Amino acid sequence: MPTAPTPSPSAGPTHPGTFDARTLLYMWMSGVFVTCLLLANILGVKLFQFDLRLFGSDLSVEHTVGMLTFPVTFVLTDLLNEYFGKRAARRVTYIAFAMGLLAFVLIFVARRMPILSGIPGTATQDAFENIFGAASLMYIASMVAFLVGSLLDIFLFGVFKRLTGGKLVWFRATGSTIVSQLFDSFVVTFVFFVLLQRLTGGEAASALFVIKTALTGYVLKFVISVLLTPVIYLGRWAIRRFIGLTPLSATSSDA
């Protein structure tokens, strides 16, 4: 009686080191997502300011440079939601949040390690603490804002997709991001400048400062979100062209 041929260990999905295109795409998008979150939290200690001419008026935009990577996470969230469903998008959000907490713990331990000073090219204790110590409260605030904003973005994306019957990609992608980033801006500003300051014995910022900082940061996020709308279409084209995937239907149970 003939026996079935033994599959080659280097071919096909049965090989432990082989992944199909859909799985690889999910892995790469997850990796970029986690990287952007971690960088946002580390870079958050630096603030920037520039003047923006909007609707005939001058607006001074003040915010942390850490927010520059967050629009990328919202684009990825929309694409994950589009092709893998809200459950898969939430999974990446939870993984990124967990990795952010892990990074926070490791940074905390690193700050407590005794330093070997005087080695060229290495940081002094003051320099190391100035960056990572000052960023610790902002790190916590941005993590909370990230979780709230990402989960809200995933929820609204699904709502808009069902309302439009799977059409108007720009509306559900940009609309969900614009609304969720409004909450993100206010959450991170309030948590850092008010809530955490009070919990740590610091001086809480005034309501006017919180509103101004949140709104000016949101204006920048709004502009970036609109400018990144074509990236959604480009991502859809690339996924269809090179991966061969099609978006989930609006009636899918996980869409």
Tokens 């979100």 correspond to what residue?
225
Check residue 7 and give its pLDDT: 45
**Encoding tokens for residue 225?**
């979100």
Tokens of 227: 């400018």
How many Cβ atoms are within 10 Å of 143's Cβ, its own excluded? Answer: 21
Instruction: Please spell the DSSP secondary structure of 30-49, one letter per residue.
Output: HHHHHHHHHHHHHHTT-EEE
Encoding tokens for residue 45?
A: 């200690």
Q: pLDDT category, 253, cuts 50, 70, 90?
A: low
> What mean pLDDT do residues 200-211 have?
86
Q: What is the pLDDT of residue 16?
A: 65
| 210-244: pLDDT as tens digits | 888 888 778 777 888 788 888 889 999 999 998 88
Q: Cα(160)–Cα(38) distance, rounded to whole angstroms?
A: 29
Q: Is a pLDDT exceeding 60 seen at residue 8? A: no
pLDDT in tens, 79-91: 999 999 999 999 9
The yes-or-no verdict on residue 5 having pLDDT over 60 is: no
Query: In Å, how far are 184, 189, 212 from 206, measured between CA atoms?
Result: 19, 11, 10
Taking the C-alpha atoms of residue 48 and residue 193, their distance in angstroms, rounded to an integer, is: 16
Between helices 70-84 and 229-238, what is the axis angle to 10°? 40
Mean pLDDT across the chain:
83
Rounded CA-CA distance 182/188 in Å is 10
Question: Does 251 score more than 60 pLDDT?
Answer: yes
Does the structure show a pLDDT above 50 at 58?
yes
Cβ(41)–Cβ(144) below 8 Å:
no
More confident call, 79 vs 251 = 79
Residue-wise pLDDT tens digits, 59-68: 676 777 877 7
Query: What does the DSSP assignment read for the chain?
Result: -PPPPPPPTTSSTTSTT---HHHHHHHHHHHHHHHHHHHHHHHTT-EEEEEEEETTEEEEEEEEGGGGGHHHHHHHHHHHHHHH-HHHHHHHHHHHHHHHHHHHHHHHHHHHSPP----TTS--HHHHHHHHTTHHHHHHHHHHHHHHHHHHHHHHHHHHHHHTTT--HHHHHHHHHHHHHHHHHHHHHHIIIIIHHHHTT-PPPPHHHHHHHHHHHHHHHHHHHHHTHHHHHHHHHHIIIII---PPPTTSTT-
Question: For residue 232, what pLDDT is reported?
Answer: 87
Task: Say what the pLDDT of residue 11 is.
Answer: 43
Assigned token pair, 29? 């998008």
